[in-house]
Amino acid sequence: MAVAIGILITIAYRDVRTRRIPNALAAAIAILGLARMVLADDPVAAGFTLVASAAVFAVTLLLFWRGAFGGGDAKLISATVMLVGFHDMFDFFLLMSLCGGVLAVGILTRDRFRLHCRQISARTLTGCSGPPTRPTVPYGVAIAGAAVVILILRPVL
C-alpha cells in the first residue's frame, strides 16, 4: 500500500506540473493491482475486477476520444480500478468525482481571478503573469487523491 500511495502522489505531482501522466506510472499501478489480486487469492473477485477495469477502460477511452479526458487519465482510472478492486470501485468513482469537482472549481476560480487581473492591468499598464489560456484540470490529482483515501480506509486484505 505504501508503494502505491507513493506512486499516486508522484502521479498527482507530475500531472499538476506537466499535465501528463507517464505510462510507466499508470502501468506500475496496474501491476500493483494485479499483485493485490494474486495475493488476495480470490479468483472470482479478481475476475470481476479485471472485467470492471476493462469496462472502465472502454468508457474512459470513449471519453478520451470525445476530448473529455486525457489519455493518461483514462489509463490511470482503469489501472486504479484494478488496485482498489471492484468492491470499492463505486466509492472510488464517487470520491474521484467529488475531488475532480472541487479541483475544477478551484481552477475556474483561479482563472477568473487572472482574467480580472488582466483587465485591471490593461487599465493601469501593469502586467499579470501569463497569457490567457484554455483551462485544463489535472484530473490525475483527483484520481490519485481518491485512490489514496480508498486505500487508507479500506480494510486490509
Where do the structural domains in the chain lie, given as residue ranges? 2-153
pLDDT category of residue 47 using cuts at 50, 70 and 90: very high
Residue pair 148/7 in contact (Cβ under 8 Å)? The answer is no
What's the predicted TM-score (pTM) here?
Answer: 0.83
Greater confidence, 57 or 112?
57
- With cell 483515501, the residue in question is 149
What average pLDDT is seen over the chain?
88
Largest CA distance in the chain: 67
The percent of residues above 90 in pLDDT, for the chain, comes to: 72
Q: What is the pLDDT of residue 129?
A: 53
DSSP class of 129: S
Q: Whole-angstrom Cα distance, residue 125 to residue 27?
A: 49
End-to-end CA separation in angstroms for the chain: 11
Q: How many Cα atoms occupy the beta-carbon half-sphere of 80 within 13 Å?
A: 31
Query: Tens digits of per-residue pLDDT, 72-115?
Result: 999 999 999 999 999 999 999 999 999 999 999 998 888 777 76
Residue pair 32/2 in contact (Cβ under 8 Å)? The answer is no
Say whether pLDDT at 143 is over 90: yes
Q: What is the pLDDT of residue 157?
A: 43
Closest CA to 80 of 42, 98, 47, 53: 53
Tell me the C-alpha to C-alpha distance, in Å, between residue 1 and each of 6, 42, 137, 142: 9, 18, 26, 18
